Structure 1
Amino acid sequence: MKPLANAFLPYPPVPVASAETGPLAGLRLAVKDLFDVKGYPTAAGNPYLLAGSGIKEETAPLVRQLLDLGASFVGKTHTDELAYSLIGNNLHFGMPINPSHPELIPGGSSSGSAVAVASGLADIGLGTDTSGSIRLPATANGLFGWRPSFGLLDPAGVRPLAPSFDVPGLFTRDYATLRRVMQSLGVHDARTPSTILIVEDLLSSCDQDIADAFWATMRKLEAPVVTRPSLSTTGLPDLARCFTTILQKEAWQTNQVLFERARQTLAPDIVQRLISGREISHESYETAVSQRARFRQAFEETMHDAVLVMPTLPTVPPRRDDTQERFAAFRARSIEMLCIAGLSGCPQITMPLPLAGGEPAGISLIAAHGFDATFVEGLATRLA
């Protein structure tokens, strides 16, 4: 291993059985420490939860499915505390090292799994995505990242954050491996979208170098494109507020007992976010849920025969030694783009987008709910 990567938790190694043959044989699997794995604790990045976890007697069904397909377990990986951040830092256990850009954040909350794959210590990195915890670290570390359709993969045995947004997801270094995993999990469909959709306000919210790289990539495709000014009549900031209201309220509900019993074990920024969720009224939450339902219906109609192509993030990830204020601004700006898949429940795949200066960026595809494999034989193959 490369100890400086700080990708894995230093748990005493315990053998985890896997199939000797299968479609994923020969691939190493790193598992975010939100998933239960038999023989290991599950800490979710918090020392109080670690102390009370005990050794798990069952493995999360999705982990077991990957092992039964032939993948071999190589360790449990770091997560932001409670999976409640997009930065990749953990006050208690540190920040994994982005191997390609060690001066930049690795992104979170699935930081360890992303760094394990980017460092060559694993071939599949299993994580979760609530507000961007697969897509952002995939972009920061130059990886392929898959946020599946909501409900597609089994979330049992995974500690939740905001259950109406949480999905398991994964990282790979190349598209061939991602395709192999998706097909092994039985993700198939025969749909071939006829329209590539580009939304103008998503591009206008990006830094110029990212917008330029995006358009350069689209020109190389030489594919017909349909553009529209926006996804919502209310605009991206309003969608982000809707998303954040639901996220913060559900995160408070999930972690209320922990907050009341062991607030002193939580990082200050996590405490503040939980308090914000506590203060959201039931009426405000229900209003946001209704707004999400309207957006989801409209988005499904838009995506009936289309794939939305967009930059994954509006800007390059910040430096790991930046201020909390800079991290907060980056998080807020990123949510305006990352919230689309969360609110719609639709699948999103991100892949590296080359920038002239060599900084990490990503380009994403979003399809209609349940059509994850649209990417497998379609546009993603050409982009990759």
Structure 2
Amino acid sequence: MRDPWNAFMPYPDADVGHAAIGPLSGFRLAVKDLFDVAGYPTAAGNAAVLAASGIKTSTAPLVQTLLDAGACFVGKTNTDELAYSLIGGNIHFGMPINPRDPQLIPGGSSSGSAVAVAAGLADIGLGTDTSGSIRLPAAVNGLIGWRPTHGSLDNRALRPLAPSFDVPGFMTKSLEPMATVMSAVGMPAANDRPSSILISEDIFATIDDTVADEMIASLRSAAMPIRRTDAIASFSLADLALAFITILQREAWESNKTLFERSPEAVASDIAARLLSGSRLDDDEVREASGIRKLFSAEIDRLLRENVVVVLPTLAMSPPTRDAEPERFAAFRSACIKLLCLSGLSGCPQLAFPIINCAGNVSLSLFGARGADRMLMNMALRLKAE
């Protein structure tokens, strides 16, 4: 396959079979290079991991489910190193090119899967989402991005980053294929509609007023009550982001400690700095962050228990250019984590999709109770149909 976008890893082709008939027949599947696929190595965006990988002899169960449903595997895709970034860069294998705007970052860490779908090289992009690695590249590339309820999909033979946040997820160009994917991976159907849409003022205060107004105006077609609240929780977004990052860094260090201690020179300096930050956290910091997470999750459960759906912008600011300074990348990551961390801390699903007739690179997200994935899809289909 010709790949001018650097979406795919440059592996020799191996035969990966798929069912001749199934709900995903005719769909091309791109798989993030964190999942094992028989006949291929798994590099996780790192040269040392690639060297130690060997050729896998079995396929991750979730990937096999997609193949058994008829999806045709077209390759393993590029990822940020160790899946530990939101930018899309990789010093070992290069940064994929954003087909929507080649001047902008592709977003990460599921960068290659997003770019493959956006460039028309695949119909389904399988990735992972820990701190936004499905939702952010989906938003940057104008795609649908689904972060499922935590624990709802099989994550065996998937290299971890932060297991209590890691979720396999998907990207497609439109909602209908994503709805088909949801069915194929066993998400239960939902006939109920949200009782109301909730807009949290503290969340929308993080973005430009004009964009916020356009987003809220797009909800009117849903023909259901819109409620407003001052804040989504008793904690500030900044406090929630700090708790999230603290837990993430500790778990990321634990997942990659052996690699780093054996080959510290094999890890990019920015990734290494984040890993080392996790190694230096004391137990009290992590315990405090875990306490915030527990309280926040309980508050969200109470908030969403009556089929309420929270609407929020997917990104807190416009994505930077691919040649921006590291400080710009850091500012972008920090701003976006304040919104992206909500699903991670709560374990709740989130569905991101571009807004039609909205100026700029704008993505809206629906955030619902655990297990409400299909209800979010039904609401998104209703919004897009109007």
Q: Report the secondary structure of 1:373's partner residue.
A: helix
The 8 Å contact of residues 9 and 76 in structure 1, kept in 2 or not, is answered as: yes
Match for residue 238 of structure 1? Answer: 239
Q: Which amino acid aligns with 1:257?
A: T
**The one of 314, 321, 344 aligned to 1:319:** 321
Runs of 4+ with >4 A deviation: 354-357
Measure, in 2, the Cα distance between the counterparts of 1:377 and 1:146: 13
Q: Deviations over 1:159-205 (max 9, x none)?
A: 00000000000000000100111112221234322111110010001
Deviation for aligned residue 1:370:
1.2
Measure, in 2, the Cα distance between the counterparts of 1:43 and 1:176: 32
Match for residue 8 of structure 2? Answer: 8
CA-atom RMSD in angstroms: 1.3
Equivalent residues in 2 for 1:1-384, closer than 5 Å: 1-188=1-188, 189-305=190-306, 306-354=308-356, 357=359, 359-383=360-384
Bigger shift: 214-223 or 294-303?
214-223
Deviation for aligned residue 1:222:
4.5
Deviation for aligned residue 1:211:
1.3
Measure, in 2, the Cα distance between the counterparts of 1:16 and 1:381: 37
The 8 Å contact of residues 35 and 157 in structure 2, kept in 1 or not, is answered as: yes
Q: Report the secondary structure of 2:152's partner residue.
A: coil
Q: Deviations over 1:68-94 (max 9, x none)?
A: 000000000000000000000001111
Q: Which amino acid aligns with 2:340?
A: L
Measure, in 2, the Cα distance between the counterparts of 1:165 and 1:205: 23
Q: Which amino acid aligns with 2:244?
A: F
Q: Which amino acid aligns with 1:84?
A: Y
Q: Deviations over 1:202-253 (max 9, x none)?
A: 0001123431321231234443201101012221000000100000010001
Measure, in 2, the Cα distance between the counterparts of 1:72 and 1:114: 17
Measure, in 1, the Cα distance between the counterparts of 2:155 and 2:259: 21
Q: Deviations over 1:92-126 (max 9, x none)?
A: 11110110111100000000000000000000000
Q: Deviations over 1:346-383 (max 9, x none)?
A: 000000125755x3221000110012111233344323
The 8 Å contact of residues 145 and 169 in structure 1, kept in 2 or not, is answered as: yes
Q: Deviations over 1:30-54 (max 9, x none)?
A: 0000000000000000000000000
Measure, in 1, the Cα distance between the counterparts of 2:380 and 2:123: 23
Measure, in 1, the Cα distance between the counterparts of 2:210 and 2:177: 29
Measure, in 1, the Cα distance between the counterparts of 2:158 and 2:248: 17
Bigger shift: 74-83 or 285-294?
285-294
The 8 Å contact of residues 195 and 224 in structure 2, kept in 1 or not, is answered as: no
Residues 304 and 379 of structure 1: CA distance in aligned 2, closer, same or farther (over 3 Å):
farther
Q: Which amino acid aligns with 2:32?
A: K
Measure, in 2, the Cα distance between the counterparts of 1:282 and 1:135: 30
Deviation for aligned residue 1:28:
0.3
Measure, in 1, the Cα distance between the counterparts of 2:235 and 2:144: 31
The 8 Å contact of residues 355 and 361 in structure 1, kept in 2 or not, is answered as: no
Bigger shift: 211-220 or 88-97?
211-220
The 8 Å contact of residues 221 and 383 in structure 2, kept in 1 or not, is answered as: no
Taking structure 2 as the reference length, what is the TM-score of the superposition? 0.97
Q: Report the secondary structure of 1:280's partner residue.
A: coil
Bigger shift: 121-130 or 370-379?
370-379
Could you list the runs of 5+ residues in structure 1 that have no partner in the other structure? none
**What is the aligned-residue identity percentage?**
53
Q: Which amino acid aligns with 1:185?
A: V
Measure, in 2, the Cα distance between the counterparts of 1:16 and 1:131: 30
Could you list the runs of 5+ residues in structure 2 that have no partner in the other structure? none
Taking structure 1 as the reference length, what is the TM-score of the superposition? 0.97
